[in-house]
Amino acid sequence: MFANPNRVAPDRLAASGRSPKLIGVTGSLVLNDGPRRIEIHPLRDSVHAQGFLTVYLPAEKLLIEADAYTPGPAGSPPPPVVDGNHQSLVNHIERLGLQVDRILPLHGRVVPLRELMAQVGR
């Protein structure tokens, strides 16, 4: 798939003639180019699926994830029973000591961490 040229809408990588560099991730991985740092961490103990990764941007205090937490409409009440995926994500943030202010769920709106915490009764 990555060997095929992008002829429909070539981006800078396609125009450069270089091949993409793929990096497999089995544990945590930190990418750093000096001023920017990106942390990639496996999400352990997910009740949804194994192999999930989260991406943390320390400068923005932003956690990017998919499927562990999809927020409802703004102001919606917490569920009567805590969702195991939500609790797993809270445990993940706390175990790694991530300083998260906002969460970017790939299936929902950007939310403050306090919305996730309210969903788990905290």
Whether the per-residue pLDDT at 4 is higher than 80: the answer is no
Instruction: Give 34-76 pLDDT, tens digit per residue.
Output: 889 999 999 988 888 888 999 999 999 999 999 999 998 888 8
Q: Which residues 6+ apart lie within 8 Å of 71 measured at CB?
A: 103, 105, 108, 109, 111, 115, 116, 119
Which CATH number does 25-119 carry? 3.60.15.10
**The pair of three-digit structure tokens given for residue 84, joined into one six-digit string:** 């195991």
3 state SS of 38: strand
pLDDT at residue 97 greater than cutoff 90: yes
Strands 53-57, 37-42: pairing kind: antiparallel
Domain boundaries, the chain: 25-119
Residues 6+ apart with CB under 8 A from 45: 88, 91
Q: Is the pLDDT confidence value at 26 over 90?
A: no
